Structure 1
Amino acid sequence: MKSWTLKLATLAGSAVLAAAAATASAQAAPAAPSSTVKIEKTPGAPYQTDDGWCHFTNWGGSFYCLRAPVDAVVWKKPDGYPQVFVLGTNRAVYSRWSTAPGVSSWYGGLGGSCKPESGFDSRANGWSITIACVGDDGGWWHNTRSTSGSWSDWKRGKGF
């Protein structure tokens, strides 16, 4: 499988992958600020560790193992590359994707606060996708990516 390189500097500000970033930094040359880590173009399979968190075999991360109905939403975008959505350790929705040049972006928080036991639901149409989850108030909430790539704010209701 072809792998790509991501500069660790792009991890700045990611709360969910802070541990993964620290691990990757520790494995790199200590004094090299431009250290890089190889990133696969696909996330790989989710797996659970003894600490109870799920991770992707290729993309790492730490997120809830939901089981209701899925651990993560994996969206095959119209360009053929995947984008995944997970519920981070702080119960917010995070995403990671790969692109044609192979640059795989780390999770950027979409926010929200979802009940882990309720899982996710989603619908995609072309370059638009809606991610829905049950919020702390017990009701459905959704966030929609427009075809331009911008995300709406979280709105009440499932959205589809």
Structure 2
Amino acid sequence: MKRIKAALLTAAVVAGMTVAATPAQATSYCNVGGGTFICEYAMSTTTLPDGTKQEFGIGTDRAVWTRWTNSSGGWTSWTSMGGEWYSAAAIRTQEVYPYLFCLVAKGSDGWLWADCRDNGGNWTGWSHLPDPS
């Protein structure tokens, strides 16, 4: 069952994915919730069915950074998800499995990469997506 869900999510990610990269010379930085991020890539935000909000941004080190709301409604500290990204971390969801979603970003190699969250909040780790062409 896990493999079927993962395959469905991966297919949806690849089918609907376009990520725009910003030229390096245009880089400016924004402060969000105590973290510093590349403004041109914007923050990505999702709200889970239980009301938990989660934000993702590309930091000055080009890693994806995330934070989420805790049970009292406050925000956690920023946590690095690693990588070296040259686009926003786009969120791709599946309506059938609302707690499952993937982040997709363009890597330093020019290819798209994904890191997917399961129903329990665990992440798969970054993996290279197949060439969609």
When the two structures are superposed, what TM-score results if normalisation uses the length of structure 1? 0.58
RMSD value over aligned CA atoms?
1.8
Deviation at 1:103? 4.1
**Is residue 121 of structure 1 aligned with residue 90 of structure 2?**
yes
Match of 2:31 in 1: 55
Contact 2:66 2:79 in 1 (8 A): yes
Match of 2:105 in 1: 133
Pick aligned residue for 1:150 from 122, 126, 132: 122
Q: Which has the higher contact order (CA 8 A, sep 6+)?
A: 2
Deviation at 1:102? 2.4
When the two structures are superposed, what TM-score results if normalisation uses the length of structure 2? 0.69
The total of aligned residue pairs comes to: 101
Question: How many percent identity over aligned positions?
Answer: 30
Greater C-alpha Rg: 1
Which structure 1 segments of 5+ residues have no match? 1-50
Q: Which has the higher strand share?
A: 1
Deviation at 1:92? 0.4
Pick aligned residue for 1:101 from 72, 86, 92: 72
Note the alpha carbon deviations across 1:91-149, whole angstroms, 9 max, x for none: 0001011023224211111111101xx32322123112200100000000010111111
Partner of 1:66, secondary structure, is helix
Match of 2:38 in 1: 64
Contact 2:46 2:91 in 1 (8 A): no
